[in-house]
Amino acid sequence: MNFQDFAQLLSRFELKGEPVSVTECKNGIINKTFVVDTTSGNRYILQRVNENVFKNPDQVMENILHVTEHLREKIKERGGDSSRETLTLIPAKAGGYSVRYNGFWRVYEGISNAVSHDKIERPGQFRNAGYAFGDFQRLLSDFDTSMLHDTIPNFHNTPMRYDAFKSALDADECGRAASVKPEIEFIEEHRWLCPIITDGIESGKFQQRVTHNDTKLNNIMMDADTDEAVCVIDLDTVMPGSLLYDYGDAIRYGASNAAEDEKDLSQVYIIPELFKEFTYGFIEGVGGALGEHEAKAMTISVAVIALELGMRFLTDYLNGDKYFIVQYEGHNLDRARTQLKLVSDILAKRAELDAIVESAL
């Protein structure tokens, strides 16, 4: 799309001012995201929702409207600035909050003086991130879950992710299975990790809560001057789930300083100091809501979620890269390898990491 197309599309939303620039942000691997600056000085975030992943984008929007409305009230109640601390959707001129224009588009208000980080530069940032994701769950603890659509059913159902991996392997649509034998073996050896969280939810050991489900570090906007976590973003996958999904996913991403597609696996490992920062922040953020069984499963949940994502990347590689956006052939395989490396690293450091959790309680 050229600038004229963007201007056309944006004219269908209630923006203040005219767009002067549209710049793509490349850190998501599902939706397309653009920063829009306008003549009024207001900044907006334009997104095209990936309809191959989110089959019913209207339901995604309904969830976001309900969740942000709830958060806005809570933030106001405690004297916070709800225009900065939660996302604000911009209305479309024709009604609703989305526009169809060669795809499904929505616009958010930009968050002033805030940035997102792909990796930790100062350990304190990760403590703030932990607090923010914990606090997010706390604020939603009295949210009526019956209002939520399952935007991606069984999103963090790890045993079903394993089944999907097996089907992709059996079908071997692109003839790639022969080249990933060590990865397949690794997954088989670690299959025991798959049911840990789902079994805990089913047996009632882990409480069902409203969870974010995509707690990458860059899904938090941080104050550009103070590193304070300002706003949790990317609410597309907010659904009922376990607190361990959010904890595990955040650590597997942020406690390793390597990129998710790092080719040099010797660079991919969990840094205990970062693990500690996030864990302390998160436990404080959830504000005492953590159950005993959940606390005991925190370290292992990181391995479960890393294995799950490793299987998802490998599944997509085997299926011919249809789900995640890839930049080159083998990109999903590189991503899968980093996640599997993290699984072994977490298991190797398990006692040390468990002791950190213990000290944080």
Residues forming contacts to ligand GN1 in the complex (CB under 6 A) are 28-30, 53, 214, 216, 234, 237, 260, 309
CB of 237 to Mg ion, least distance (A): 6
Q: Map residues 203-232 to x or -, x wherever contact with Mg ion holds by CB under 5 A.
A: -----------x------------------
CB of 249 to Mg ion, least distance (A): 10
DSSP 244-313: HHHHHHHHHHHTS-S-TT-S-GGG----HHHHHHHHHHHHHHHTT---HHHHHTHHHHHHHHHHHHHHHH
- Given the complex with ligand GN1, which of 29 and 64 has the nearer CB atom? 29
Pairing state of beta strands 32-38 and 19-25?
antiparallel
234 binds Mg ion (CB under 5 A): yes
CB of 41 to ligand GN1, least distance (A): 28
Of residues 239, 264, 252, the one with CA closest to residue 67: 239
- Given the complex with Mg ion, which of 15 and 29 has the nearer CB atom? 29
**Greatest distance between any 2 Cα atoms in the chain:** 58
- Given the complex with Mg ion, which of 214 and 321 has the nearer CB atom? 214
Coil, helix or strand at residue 209: strand
Residue 260 near which of Mg ion, ligand GN1, none (CB within 5-8 Å, type-dependent): ligand GN1
Place of tokens 């789900």: 323
17 — alpha (psi -120 to 50), left (phi > 0) or beta?
left
> How many residues at the interface with Mg ion, by CB under 5 A?
2
- Given the complex with ligand GN1, which of 29 and 90 has the nearer CB atom? 29
CB of 66 to ligand GN1, least distance (A): 19
Report yes or no: 159 and 194 within 8 Å, Cβ to Cβ: yes
Report yes or no: 289 and 265 within 8 Å, Cβ to Cβ: no
| Residue sitting closest to Mg ion (CB) | 214
Residue 287 near which of ligand GN1, Mg ion, none (CB within 5-8 Å, type-dependent): none
- Given the complex with ligand GN1, which of 250 and 360 has the nearer CB atom? 250
